[in-house]
Amino acid sequence: MPQSARIIQLVTRPNGAPKPGDFRIADIPLPDPGPGEVLLQMLWLSLDPYMRGRISDARSYAAPTPLGEAPPTEAVARVIVSNDPALAAGDTVVVYDQWRDHAVRKAADCRKLDPTLAPVQTALGVLGMPGRTAYTGLKHIGKPKPGETLVVGAATGAVGGLVGQIARLQGARTVGIAGGAEKCLYATETLGFDACLDRHQPDLAARLAEACPNGIDVYFELTGGDILAAVLPLLNPFARIPVCGTIASYNATTPPPGPDQLPALMRLILTRSLTVRGFIVGEFAADTPEFEAAMSNWLNEGVVAYREAISQGIESMVPAFIGMLEGQNFGKTLVKLA
Which spans of this chain sit near its own copies (rule: CB under 8 A)? 53, 59-61, 221, 224-225, 228, 237, 243-246, 248-249, 252, 254-280, 283
Q: How far is CA 314 from CA 53, 123, 231, 277, in A?
A: 21, 19, 38, 36
First to last CA, the chain: 15
CB of 266 to its own copies, least distance (A): 5
Comparison of 90 and 263: residue with beta carbon closer to its own copies: 263
How many whole angstroms separate alpha carbon 142 and alpha carbon 167?
A: 9
- Give the shortest CB-303-to-its own copies separation in angstroms: 30
CB of 260 to its own copies, least distance (A): 4
For 23-78, give the DSSP string: EEEEEEEPPPP-TTEEEEEEEEEE--TTHHHHTS-S--SSPPPPTTSPPEEEEEEE
Between 181 and 266, name the residue whose CB sits nearer to its own copies.
Answer: 266
Nearer to its own copies, 192 or 327 (CB): 327
| 46 within 8 A of 74, measured Cβ to Cβ | yes
CB of 58 to its own copies, least distance (A): 8
DSSP 236-298: EEEEEEEE---GGGTT-SSPPPSS--HHHHHHHHHHTT-EEEE--GGGGGGGHHHHHHHHHHH
CB closer to its own copies out of 5 and 274: 274
To the nearest whole angstrom, how small is the minimum distance from the Cβ of residue 254 to its own copies?
A: 7
Closer Cβ to its own copies, 104 or 276, answer by number: 276
